Amino acid sequence: MKNNTQQNAVEARRLIRTERTAILASHGLPQKLSVTDEREQEDWPYASLVEVACDLGGRPILLLSGLAVHTQNILRDPRVSLLFDGTRDSVSPLTGGRVTVAGRAEKTDAAGHRSRFLARHPQATEYAEFADFGFWHVLPVGAHFIAGFGKISSIPENELVLDHVETQRFAGFADSVIEHMNADHGDAIELLARNLLGRAGPGWQISGCDPEGVDLRCGDEFGRLEFANPVFDSDAVRKTLVQMTRHDRSGR
């Protein structure tokens, strides 16, 4: 049985994995926005909008231009915060969920980071090869999760991200699960998209898979299906997807 912190971590990761953008806070203003005391220039907070994906454990992945203010800031000071906002479609935003992840950003050339980001943001493939662009991995030190009025919790890093050994094992078969489902079970994916996400139309496929769910894509539309519980082996992933499809078909 999960304690409150563990349950809050699950809900926070769900929000992080669902959102495709976040607000990035770094240290340093653009030169044209100079402050009176030049010594404060590099310490002043700067917020910007970035596209984001996640690794299998729930750590954020970014694709940043070296020319951007936030990238220059990170090169000086890798400490950042990312605000994932799940309230944008709410008529009362302060009652909705949002989570701020604090961590240190570092450059990454891991193939898994690249593939997961581009699967989530396929349009970024156009500029991912540009010389001034690079992938970054944010290693959290913790998170501040607000689920609504009075529902506030701090989540330590060891609760926020999934176990590294388990996710590394998952990485060994994630691509094969995606390929199998898309090649042999397209009708089931479309059924899940229509009945569980309310996304009608043909052409839905799985674009990403992690221990807590699958990302779906159809053209420029995206959606996410969460598993009831994390799974860490290929048979369990397939069984979970089959169960979701059967439940969807039967309505029970």
Domains by residue range for the chain, with CATH: 4-161 (2.30.110.10), 170-250 (3.20.180.10)
Residue 27 predicted with pLDDT over 60: yes
Instruction: Indicate the residue type of 60.
Output: P
pLDDT tens, 111-155?
999 999 999 999 999 999 999 999 999 999 999 999 887 789 999
The phi and psi torsions of 127 (rounded to 5 degrees) equal -115, 0
Furthest C-alpha separation in the chain: 66
Tell me how many degrees the CA angle 248-169-165 measures, rounded to the nearest 5: 115
Range of lowest pLDDT (114-118, 203-207, 231-235): 231-235
pLDDT tens, 154-175?
999 999 999 999 999 999 999 9
The answer to whether residues 175 and 189 touch, using CB atoms and an 8 Å cutoff, is: no
Q: How confident is the model at residue 68 (pLDDT cuts 50, 70, 90)?
A: very high
pLDDT value of residue 231: 94
| Mean pLDDT (whole number) for 97-102 | 97
Tokens of 34: 């100079």
How many Å apart are CA 94 and CA 112, to the nearest integer?
35
Residue 63 predicted with pLDDT over 80: yes
With the C-alpha atoms ordered 28, 31, 34, 37, is the resulting torsion angle positive or negative? positive
With the C-alpha atoms ordered 49, 53, 59, 62, is the resulting torsion angle positive or negative? negative
The answer to whether residues 193 and 216 touch, using CB atoms and an 8 Å cutoff, is: yes
How many Å apart are CA 136 and CA 139, to the nearest integer?
10
Q: Would you give the distance in Å from CA 92 to the centre of its chain? A: 24
**Among 3, 34, 15, 72, which Cα is nearest to 212's?**
15
pTM: 0.91
Residue 92 predicted with pLDDT over 90: no
